Amino acid sequence: MTTKNPDYLVDVPKSLLPFVGEPDPGTRIYRTEGDAAEGAEWFNRLVRAYEESLVSPGGVSLFAPVSRPAVHKAMKEGRLTAFLFHEIKMRRSLFGTKRARRKTPFVYIPVIECKGWARQLLAEHPSERELYGDNPDWGGSDVIDGPKEFRRRPPKVPTPQKSQKKSE
């Protein structure tokens, strides 16, 4: 994979930073936390900032030919921008004290980055059709058996060689 910064990454407006937080070191994962009401406000601001829409890591495959683990890897390597919101719920501990508990975060990725990543992948890695053609020969029969013209021709029967002795 390429090590340079991809050209499809979106800019995160400075006005959005107080709501999405600072990115994790070495990534473009913006993480924040709060209660459900703060989560709703966080999402509304994201939708207004990225009008093309947002998708979860599983939804990236709608736009790019990638798996969810590939999306997570790209996020960790800083090749995708992700916005995470950890909802905090108060709970009682075993001893009765109140403690905050983080729930599984909401994760969103801008769709425009997904489409840009797809363009980059298709440019770097050709499609299966380009690689194998319309009728791929997975078993190698064309190589092993030869083309149709070769198969239709009767095989040459080797004629026995007569050994000739040299006369003295």
pLDDT in tens, 75-91: 999 999 999 999 988 78
Number of structural domains in the chain: 1
Q: What residue type is assigned to position 29 of the chain? A: I
CB–CB of 32/85 below 8 Å?
A: yes
pLDDT of residue 1: 47
Is pLDDT above 50 for 65?
yes
Percent of the chain clearing pLDDT 70 (strictly above): 77
If one compares 96 and 55, the residue with the highest pLDDT of the two is 55
7 within domain boundaries: no
CB–CB of 19/108 below 8 Å?
A: no
DSSP β-bridge partners for residue 85 = 32, 106
> Which are the contacts of 99, defined by CB distance < 8 A and separation ≥ 6?
90, 91, 92, 93
Domain with 59 in it? 26-127
87 within domain boundaries: yes
List C-alpha distances in Å: 117 to 27, 123, 136.
16, 10, 27
